[in-house]
Every structure is written in C-alpha cells, then in structure tokens.
Structure 1
Amino acid sequence: MPKTLSRQMLAFAAVGVVNTAVYSCLYLVLLTRLPYLAAHVLAFLASMVGSFFLNARFTYRTRPTWRKFLLFPLTNAMNFLVTTAGVYVIVDVLHAGNRFAPLAASAAAIPVTFVVSRWVMLPKSIA
C-alpha cells in the first residue's frame, strides 16, 4: 500500500474518532430536548461540517473549496442512510435503547465514506 494512502487512512481514522466524539456529545445533549431521530440528524449535520474541514486539513492536505464543501455531503450520503436505518432498527425494531444506537450503526459505513471522501477531496486521484 502506498505511503500516502496509508497516512490518509490513519488520518481519516483519527478524524473519525474526533468526529464521532463530537457527534456523540451533540447527540446526547440534543437528546435531552429532541426526539432521537431529530437529535441524530442535527448532530450528524454539525459533525459533517467539522469533518469536512478536518479531513481537508489533516487527511488529504488539500485546500477547502466551495465545490468540495458542496460535494462533501455526498460522501456522507451512504453513511447517513446506513446509520439512520441502523438507529431506527436498533431503537424501534430491536428495542435496544437510543443513547448509543448511532455508535453501533455507524461502523458499517466507514469504508464507503473513506473511498467517496477521497474521491471528492482529491478529484484527480483514483479512490
């Protein structure tokens, strides 16, 4: 595996840890005032903006542009669908509780998010 790709994967993982912590804290705070799906959506959107800037700076070492910023939500579209469906299944189908459901549901979307985010942030590279 090329050195740059390995570094990007490690940086992506580190940004993901920070982003997950931000998301989780926001989700738990919002959960005190909102239904779980509303808390999930708002926390997800806020953490996605932070993720864009952290990934631009630390993962891909590229200048953030409006074009990339506007395309970046596409990188999380699959992540959003998978995590939202997972949260719903965990909470409403399995009745397993809503506090930590998003953490469990998000694991499956990580590899897809990396590939698509690399394609958006570094459009001339092959993800």
Structure 2
Amino acid sequence: MRSSITSEFIRFVLVGLINTAVYYGVYTILVYAGLFYIAAHFGGFITAFIISYFLNCHFVYGVRPTLLKFLKFPLTQVINMGMQTLLLYVLVDQLGWNEIIAPLPVLIITVPITYGITRWVLKDKEG
C-alpha cells in the first residue's frame, strides 16, 4: 500500500509539473499581453485546472472521469485558489516581489494541500 501511495504521489508531482508549466505559460503570456496579474493568474489557473482534472483521473489515480467528479473537483479547489491568490497578493503587493517570479513559491507551498484534496475527491469510494 505504501508503495502504491508513493507511486501515486510521484505521478501527482509529474502532473503538477505539467500543470505548473501550463499555468506559468498562460500566466506569463497574459501578463505580457497587458492583463493585470490577478486576472492573468485566474486565466492560468483555470486552464491548468481543466487539464489537471483529466490528467489526475487518467494518469495519477486511474479513475474514470465523471460529470459528478468534475463538478466536485472545482469546489475543493476553492481553498487552493484562495490560498494561491492570497499568497500571490502578499508577495507582490505587500512584499514587493516581481509578479513574474511570485507564482513559483506560491505553487510550491500549495502542492501538498492540493494533493490531499484531489485524492479525496477523485478516489472517493473507488479505492
């Protein structure tokens, strides 16, 4: 069982790296296109979120994507999004960090919480 969880977490991290690249790519493009950094953050988050759902279902947890799970998935991400947005705001507006660099530590901080929430939602009653 421990090996299974470890393997699952490694796949989750790999998917997270893909999601991070997608998020950061969309975020950076939108910021350079002139969008306010918080709006760019939402654009990147939503794009990566949709991709994340399907990669997590198929690659990480080996579960069938369903409409119910897809509808539950964003509800659990409210905590994640709230934490990311608050941390991004604090780093950029309160601490003066560069808006291009600031999302990186934010994502590192929120990954373990996201793993727990995602696992709970997608594996609910399936194993």
TM range (shorter): over 0.9
Q: d(CA) in 2 for partners of 1:28 and 1:119?
A: 31
Structure 2 equivalent of residue 54 of structure 1: 55
Deviation readout 1:8-48 (Å, 9 max, x if unpaired): 10100000000000100000001122000000011101100
Distance 1:123 1:21 in 2: 28
How big is the alpha-carbon RMSD for the aligned residues of Structure 1 and Structure 2?
Answer: 1.4
Q: Distance in 2 between matches of 1:116 and 1:31?
A: 29
Matches within 5 A, 1:1-127: 2-32=2-32, 33-124=34-125
Q: Alpha carbons of 1:66 and 1:125: their partners in 2 closer, same or farther (altered >3 Å)?
A: closer
Q: TM-score, normalised by structure 1?
A: 0.93
Deviation at 1:125, TM superposition (A): 6.0
Identity %: 39
* TM value normalised by structure 2: 0.93
User: Does the Cα contact within 8 Å between 1:82 and 1:106 map onto a contact in 2?
Assistant: no
Per the TM alignment, residue 75 of structure 1 is displaced from its structure 2 partner at its CA by 3.1
Structure 1 unmatched runs, 5+: none
Q: CA separation of 1:5/1:124 partners in 2, compared to 1, >3 Å: closer, same or farther?
A: same
Do 1:79 and 1:106's aligned partners in 2 also have CA atoms closer than 8 Å? no
- CA–CA separation in structure 2 for the residues paired with 1:120 and 1:70: 10
Q: Distance in 1 between matches of 2:94 and 2:62?
A: 41
How many residues end up aligned between the 2 structures?
Answer: 126
Contact residue 119 and residue 125 of structure 1 kept, 8 A = no
CA deviation string 1:30-88 (max 9, x = no partner): 11220000000111011000000000010001110001111111232222111111110
